[in-house]
Amino acid sequence: MKNARIIAALILTYMLFGILLNSVGTVILQSIASMGQSKASAAILEAFKDLPIAITSFLAASFLPRLGYRRAMMLGAAMVGTACLAMPLFPGFSTAKLLFAVTGMAFALVKVSVYSTIGLVTEDKARHASLTNIVEGLFMVGVLSGYWIFGAFIDPANPAGLGWLDVYWLLALICAGVVLLLATSRLDESAARPAASHLRDDFLAMFRLIALPLVIVFVLSAFLYVLIEQAIGTWLPTFNNEVLHLPQAMSIQAASIFAATLAIGRLGAGAILTRISWYPLVNVCVVAMAALVLVSLPLTRGLAPDPQIGWLSAPLAAYILPLIGLFLAPIYPAINSAMLSSLPKTEHAAMTGLLVVFSALGGTTGSFITGQVFAAFDGQTAFYMSILPMALLLLALGGFRRLGGG
């Protein structure tokens, strides 16, 4: 298959960052348990991850075609591999902040490179939409595996211990493998390289794009989507532990259901979007998400701790609430593909840079607000609040469509 090796490299690189980025919910839970952090202070980890994503993407995205997308992905994997080694060597909450800051900077390089490379290895809008969903779906497989990998390193007899930090030796090894795979892959990037121009002109291209009404509504849609995803995904392990009263390791592993449904939804959408338009699909998905919130959260009231709890005796809400991921899944890749496939390949890096900036800001906002409401009120109230951005997302998607998106 043409470009099969570089596509495999894209997928594995993206899966690696799926494990690392979405471990923030697990690290928040473990920081509370083993590093003496409060919910409010632990919530800052999301900002340490997302703000570097936004800043790095804003500053570097337009320069990546000159550096080379493959080289940028290798640099990103090497950076996080080094940061992973620091976690067990220098255990502490400050090191966790550093890890997520480095991961955020590296992911900005990787995401812009992955999305821009998709445009180089696909021939039309249908294939672009399909591969985008497949790549994002397998990103969620990385997220799913991350919950189980981290859960396996938590000692049920001593969940407050620091033994879970040994997971980072394994993650550093995976980073080394990804760098090696990218180093031995080939990618023709000539179509993405800008014509002779100054670096300043490349940077200003992002500002020219953000002035377009269509782009404004698009980045608002992306902001709201990631706000919802991170609000739920980051705090689901803590919700499982404190509201559903699941054991610590099981709380993390049960959160993997959310990642699994996101993966299934995106891989399924990869096939569906080759046959139908994205807009009716995403509207149905937003309405279904809101319905699941309203159905599942009443089931969490009045639950009492059970020392014998297991997978067969867990509350029904532990299985229903994460199904939101099935409907959340197709939205982000669908709107991203609709936007990018309508632009020349030379503008994909700048557009993806804007996408990453606003996605990162949405993730920080969603996680921070949810964490503060969780601490001030309770988990049910925090998750009920996701209905509001869902309604706003529905309106934003309508505006994106009317302005010519897709």
Q: What is the pLDDT of residues 91-148, one digit of tens each?
A: 988 999 999 999 999 998 998 888 888 878 777 777 777 788 788 888 888 888 888 8
Placement of tokens 């392990």 in the chain = 237
Say how many Å lie between the first and final Cα of the chain, rounded. Answer: 28
| Percent of the chain whose predicted confidence (pLDDT) is above 70 | 95
Query: Domain spanning 4-186+198-402 has what CATH number?
Result: 1.20.1250.20
Confidence (pTM): 0.75
Q: Please state the domain extents for the chain.
A: 4-186+198-402
Confidence category of residue 177, pLDDT binned at 50, 70, 90 = very high
Placement of tokens 């992905």 in the chain = 73
Give CA angle at 99 (263, 325), nearest 5°: 20
273-330 confidence digits (pLDDT tens): 777 788 888 999 999 999 999 999 999 988 888 888 888 899 999 999 999 999 998 8
Whether the CB-CB separation of 236 and 25 falls below 8 Å is answered with yes
Average pLDDT over residues 368-397: 90
Whether the CB-CB separation of 314 and 247 falls below 8 Å is answered with no
Tokens of 352: 């993806």
pLDDT score, position 347: 74
The phi and psi torsions of 158 (rounded to 5 degrees) equal: -145, 65
Integer Cα distance of 326 and 369 in angstroms: 23
Distance of CA 395 to the CA centre of its chain: 22
Confidence category of residue 202, pLDDT binned at 50, 70, 90 = low
